[in-house]
A = this chain, B = another copy of it.
Amino acid sequence: MDDNSQKRRRGTGGGAARRAERTQIRHEAARFIERRIPNLDILHPEAIEIIEANAETVLEEIGVVFSDNPEALARWRDAGADVQDDRVRLPKGLARELCKTAPARFTQHARNPERNVEVGGPNLVLAPVYGPPFVRDAAGGRRYATIADFRNFVRLAYMSKWLHHSGGTVCEPTDVPVHVRHLDMLHAHMTLSDKPFMGSVTEPSRAKDSVEMAGVLFGEDFVAQNTVMTSLVNINSPLTFDGTMMGALETYAAANQAAIVSPFIVGGAMSPVSVAGTLTQVLAEVMVGVGYSQLVRKGAPVIAGAFVTSIDMNSGAPTFGTPEAAQITFGMGQLARRLGLPYRSAGAFCGSKLPDAQAAYESANSLNVGLLSGVNFMLHAAGWLEGGLVSSYEKFVMDADQLGILHGLAGGVDVSENAQAMDAIREVGPGGHYLGCAHTQANFQTAFWRTGVFDYKPFETWAEEGARDTEALATAKVARMLSEYQAPALDQGVAEALDAYVARRKSEIPESFD
């Protein structure tokens, strides 16, 4: 279905919806990043050869486990793997061969077609933090997340110019019972934002609910023919694919919805303590996960993921923004491109308990590496705190601001005649000043990225205004944004149908299912 037909379909909301659209505040939203700068390839060809050969050896000699999933074992047996109990050993080349039918890029549709994202190729799609059970803000400190927090983070992502995606579990709404939590989360993404979003993966039936609810939002036909969700399927490293996560993958792949197949690795704990060893294991795991998605449905869209942190051997804590994490992110980018797959990695990762300097150094390191390593889908690009235990309101807007820098750097260097500015250099001459020259006047408004959070004022002004640090500036920005939020227009019939779906399923799903 092309964009026109989607517009037609969405244009049937009647007069009320049209009036709502006319009075709508429209938040500026950047298009996903299309890089005009090269990726940095840090692995030399010999290193690639070694790692790829070792990954094949791992799959042939050691193999992987598909637990609680007899259907998966049957699929692997049919595909030519050696299956003993729940251990699957793959002849060399099989996994790589299976990966070939996965698309190198795909479109994830949003309910607002202007927000569609193109995953793969030179593109980078930025999505918010995923998974924390806690939230933090300056006023309330650290506390368990609620559905009210969840909705706030969806609103902030919707209003953040440089975030292209609404994400998934932006925090765990712990005040909603687990067995129906996915319904409230999906409802928030679908109604409070018009950006693309992720579906539930905690249970195959919840993945099915996600697909059905997307059908209510987009129309069933549209969902049958287009990818409208990109969901996060973690691998239990080392080398284990559990039935729950694979069940979600099966559901999404069968429905032609996208999944990020991602080893979740703390290096030294779930993988070897070396970069080359970790890359070997990650590559083996990704090839099996992606390959499996293609056994379920050839051509199903899938993203090769790598969530990798290093570890502090003193405390056992995962560590972020480290050189080893950077090397793995760069290296896996090269390996994913050689597989012809979109790549997910990096994020505003940090271990700090507060949105302070540690959090910012760690996050900036990872964000820069993410851009330059060719990541196509970056989850956790804003709001992550304390090793992923906390979604931070202040850090969310700080990180989201930094994402503008990635856009600017990725845009490459303009060498148009205007950008060459030879007339300006002639006009100003030695010892002159450019502030007043014609070229500066004509270009200054778009010339430089500008923060929406940081302080650039003179010291004295800043001191008079209370000598606020970044967290205090961010607190004010969060409050301003949430007070200005207006939901994007949604067809009233669709809104009612979504409410009805949630109500029906809440009455159907047994509580014992938690």
Task: Give residues in A with beta carbon < 8 Å to B.
Answer: 37-38, 40-43, 46-47, 50-51, 54, 57-58, 61-65, 87, 142, 236, 238-240, 267-277, 279-281, 310-317, 319, 321-324, 326-327, 331, 351-365, 368-369, 372, 386, 389, 395, 398, 402, 404-409, 411-415, 418-422, 424-426, 428-435, 439-440, 443-445, 447-451, 453-459, 462-463, 467, 469-471, 473-474
Q: How far is the CB of A248 from chain B (nearest CB, A)?
A: 19
9 A-B pairs within 8 Å (CB atoms) are namely: A50-B420, A268-B434, A272-B425, A274-B421, A321-B364, A356-B356, A358-B360, A359-B360, A364-B365
Q: How far is the CB of A72 from chain B (nearest CB, A)?
A: 14
Query: This chain: how many copies in the complex?
Result: 2
Contact A62 B408 (CB under 8 A): no
Residues of B within 8 A of A316 (CB): 435
Residues of B within 8 A of A421 (CB): 272-274, 276-277, 280
Contact A456 B351 (CB under 8 A): yes
Residues of B within 8 A of A361 (CB): 360-361, 363-364, 398, 402, 454
Cα-based distance from A61 to B447 in the complex (angstroms): 26
Cα-based distance from A324 to B414 in the complex (angstroms): 11
Which residue of chain B is the closest to A422 with respect to CB atoms? B54
Contact A274 B357 (CB under 8 A): no
Assuming the contacts A430-B240, A443-B273, A470-B356, asked whether A281 and B415 have C-beta atoms less than 8 A apart, the reply is no
Contact A456 B272 (CB under 8 A): no
Cα-based distance from A471 to B470 in the complex (angstroms): 13
Cα-based distance from A401 to B321 in the complex (angstroms): 12
Contact A432 B238 (CB under 8 A): yes
Contact A273 B429 (CB under 8 A): no
Contact A238 B428 (CB under 8 A): yes
Assuming the contacts A360-B364, A413-B47, asked whether A440 and B40 have C-beta atoms less than 8 A apart, the reply is no
Contact B469 A354 (CB under 8 A): yes
Q: How far is the CB of A481 from chain B (nearest CB, A)?
A: 18
Residues of B within 8 A of A471 (CB): 356-357
Residue in B51, B368, B443, B450 whose CB lies within 8 Å of A415: B51
Contact B415 A317 (CB under 8 A): no
Residues of B within 8 A of A311 (CB): 448
Residues of B within 8 A of A42 (CB): 37-38, 412-413
Q: How far is the CB of A299 from chain B (nearest CB, A)?
A: 28
Residues of B within 8 A of A467 (CB): 353-354
Residues of B within 8 A of A321 (CB): 364, 405
Residues of B within 8 A of A454 (CB): 351-352, 358, 361-362
Q: How far is the CB of A389 from chain B (nearest CB, A)?
A: 7
Cα-based distance from A448 to B62 in the complex (angstroms): 26
Cα-based distance from A287 to B112 in the complex (angstroms): 52
Q: How far is the CB of A11 from chain B (nearest CB, A)?
A: 38
Residues of B within 8 A of A420 (CB): 50-51, 54, 274, 276-277, 280
Which residue of chain B is the closest to A442 with respect to CB atoms? B273
Contact A239 B331 (CB under 8 A): no
Residues of B within 8 A of A450 (CB): 312-314, 319
